[in-house]
A and B are shown apart, each in its own frame.
Chain A
Amino acid sequence: MNDKVDVLIIGSGASGAAVAWSLADTKMRILCLEQGDWVKPTDYPSNGRDWEARLFSDFAINPNRRARETDYPINDANSQIKVVNFNGVGGSTIMYTAHYPRLHPSDFKVKTLDGVADDWPIDYQTLEPFFAENDRMTGVSGLAGDPAYPAKQPPMPPIPLGKSGQRFGKAMNNLGWHWWPSDTSIATVDYEGRGRCLNLGHCTPGCAQGAKASTDITYWPLALRAGVELRTRARVREITVDNNGMATGVVYYDADGKEQFQAAEMVIVACNGVGTPRLMLNSQSGKFPNGIANSSGLVGKNLMFHPYAFTYGYVDEPLDGNHGPPLCLWSHEFYETDKARDFVRGYIFQFGRGMGSIVEAINSTAAGRLPWGEDHHKVYRGLLNHRIYLAGICEDLPEEHNRVTLDPVLKDSDGIPAPKIDYTLGDNSRKMLEHAHSRAEEILKEAGAHTVFREHVPNSGWHLLGTARMGTDAERSVVNEWGRCHDVKNLFIVDGSIWVTSGGVNPTSTIQALALYIADAIKQRLSNATLFE
């Protein structure tokens, strides 16, 4: 079972699946270890009457609340933003809202353009063919011609505007601000064996129709057919090394909790911005006493989320409610740096439809809008299906004190030390949040909202970035410009942890393009025998 493999990939989510599929044509023996299970489409909440309630139990977005056997605990007590994720085949592409923007060209050059953080060692043009390839593989819907981006051609038409989208569109036109139908990883027509979107309206915790792209139904079927092996319920404890500082394989626990060793010629880590540094910090040895490939001391540091400026209001007319994919439009009006503002960089707005009946009731009770007693019913009927919302997704600048470390006490069910998150909002982020909230309020009022609210959403740590950053300087980065660790020449990282800066958009599209780019770099160097030089 544990014969030596050529390539060992840890994690089967957004990046692990993409790199597995891309490397499959090398005909190397490739194995992926995944700590979670396959999730059957029939298990997704939208199959049952308790679809909304399961957001608070086995499909809760926060792993500490969800607490499946396949989850690991996270100490987030000292973080203003809580980590949300999913562990299973497909990783957090099972549990995301399918909003699928790319980074912009300027995101790769923030030091040059704005004098903050660092430039990436690669640029948008380098990733462009991989963006396009990933769009085809994932199945992206959208509309060409967006003035916010260099030319691109989503393979499917956009999701419907609906009542909410039209209301926002008119408001943005009145304000003279940019808006556009979002790129989403949702099939709007039958696509590569996937059925088209039926507007189930409950996209985030898995799509029963299979219209939402998660890598268990996009990359993995093709990778498996091409000979890649995927082993579930395999939780990796550490990456092992030899006396020369080369990775030799991993120690993992199987479904029975039994310790196993898997040897490999090369190891690729794809556990994203919290799981990856956790694994690397747990991989301590005489050669790497502070964690593998951590001579820079930067493993776990520079954790970036995207602080969310969540803002919403209520209108008189009933709108779409929770029907249809929740995120339908974006605006990049405030994305690029404007020297007239008191912060650098920027954010997109993602525009949403309404909430389901339960979430509306819970949120409105928590906010003090929905009373107990006789008035409950009357007030509730003025809220349900009358909500419109938008969120500014703010660029988070890298700061070393925002970090992932190992918790000295907390462990997962296999006894592996759990991650601990220390994170505080930076001054630039706070100013950007204020700007985004204020602009959002203008938009909502222009869209006819009679009441408007701001909300701090702690469970908004969807995007986990920066904790093993890429760069050409081994003292200031963990991996080089094509994803190989500076310290360990047969160890690669392909997930969000290698991001140098965060941009201000949902990251999955760029994470996957980056994984395809690194896979391509590996293949090129395999062909000329320079991979481990």
Chain B
Amino acid sequence: MQTTLTDAEARDLRALVAQMIPASTTYKVPGADDDLIFTDILRSLERDTDDVRAALKHLATMSGGSFAGLPADRRAEVAATFKDQGGAPLFALNRVVLLCYYRDDRVMRSLGQEPRSPFPKGHVVEQGDWSLLDPVKKRAPIYRKVP
């Protein structure tokens, strides 16, 4: 198994993830092709490397050679078709992109989330109104009696 992408594959992948999750000035977030995020994507392929390579091969075929080399409007068209036809390899590729994008500090802050591990600080969950249970407490047993 080849564990890293070729330069051509990496260029196509970067162009693709820019179509998937572009930067947004409205939400003040980078795109998935941002340097830090894309480096994380390349580093995180691991178990999905074969699927990602298969997806990129499919994409390159659809592009007539190089997806990254297409004009911008044509890239958008090919990406839209690829989204529908990519199958399981694209699902794996998508998963790697999302798990790297949605752990980036800038993205997390934009979502109102603290960029940290759950442990040791944890979170606060309100106890809630336990009187909501009062009508249930008044019910007779609902389990079946066994002879």
- A interface residues (Cβ-Cβ under 8 A, vs B): 44, 46-53, 56-57, 65, 67, 104-106, 108-109, 112-113, 123-124, 143, 145, 147-150, 159-163, 165-166, 169-170, 172-173, 178-181, 197-202, 208-209, 320, 323-324, 332-333, 335-337, 357-358, 361-362, 365-366, 372-374, 376-378, 381, 384
**Neighbouring A residues of B98 by C-beta, 8 Å:** 358, 361-362, 365
**Neighbouring B residues of A365 by C-beta, 8 Å:** 94, 98
- Which residue of chain B is the closest to A169 with respect to CB atoms? B132
- Which residue of chain B is the closest to A361 with respect to CB atoms? B98
A372:B21 contact, CB within 8 angstroms: yes
A-contact 0/1 string along B59-83, CB 8 Å cutoff? 0000000000000000010011001
- Identify which of A161, A357, A362, A377 contacts B95 (C-beta below 8 A): A362
- Identify which of B103, B129, B137 contacts A358 (C-beta below 8 A): B103
Q: For the complex formed, measure the closest distance between the CB of A163 and the CB atoms of chain B, giving whole angstroms.
A: 7
- Expressed in whole angstroms, the Cα–Cα distance for A45 and B1 within the complex equals 27
- Main SS class of interface, B: loop
A166:B102 contact, CB within 8 angstroms: no
B122:A372 contact, CB within 8 angstroms: no
Once A372-B19, A372-B20 are accepted as A-B contacts, the answer to whether A209 and B119 lie under 8 Å apart by CB is yes
Interface size range of chain B in the complex: 35 or more
Once A57-B47, A372-B19 are accepted as A-B contacts, the answer to whether A336 and B143 lie under 8 Å apart by CB is yes
Q: For the complex formed, measure the closest distance between the CB of B26 and the CB atoms of chain A, giving whole angstroms.
A: 7
Q: For the complex formed, measure the closest distance between the CB of A152 and the CB atoms of chain B, giving whole angstroms.
A: 12
A198:B143 contact, CB within 8 angstroms: no
A-contact 0/1 string along B94-109, CB 8 Å cutoff? 1100111111000010
Q: For the complex formed, measure the closest distance between the CB of B20 and the CB atoms of chain A, giving whole angstroms.
A: 5
A199:B124 contact, CB within 8 angstroms: yes
- Expressed in whole angstroms, the Cα–Cα distance for A109 and B143 within the complex equals 13
- Expressed in whole angstroms, the Cα–Cα distance for A427 and B108 within the complex equals 45
- Which residue of chain A is the closest to B98 with respect to CB atoms? A361
- Expressed in whole angstroms, the Cα–Cα distance for A76 and B94 within the complex equals 24
B128:A160 contact, CB within 8 angstroms: yes
**Neighbouring B residues of A162 by C-beta, 8 Å:** 125-126, 128
- Expressed in whole angstroms, the Cα–Cα distance for A150 and B144 within the complex equals 10
What are 29 of the A-B contact pairs (CB < 8 Å)?
A: A44-B119, A46-B119, A47-B119, A52-B99, A52-B103, A56-B47, A67-B47, A105-B143, A123-B146, A147-B137, A147-B142, A163-B128, A169-B132, A169-B133, A170-B132, A173-B135, A178-B139, A198-B119, A320-B125, A357-B102, A358-B102, A362-B98, A366-B91, A366-B94, A374-B22, A374-B24, A376-B21, A377-B26, A377-B29
- Identify which of B113, B121, B146 contacts A198 (C-beta below 8 A): B121
3 nearest A-B residue pairs (beta carbon) = A198-B122, A161-B128, A324-B125
- Expressed in whole angstroms, the Cα–Cα distance for A374 and B94 within the complex equals 16
- Expressed in whole angstroms, the Cα–Cα distance for A336 and B29 within the complex equals 51
**Neighbouring B residues of A147 by C-beta, 8 Å:** 136-137, 139-143
- Expressed in whole angstroms, the Cα–Cα distance for A65 and B76 within the complex equals 32
A49:B103 contact, CB within 8 angstroms: yes
- Expressed in whole angstroms, the Cα–Cα distance for A520 and B135 within the complex equals 40
A113:B144 contact, CB within 8 angstroms: yes
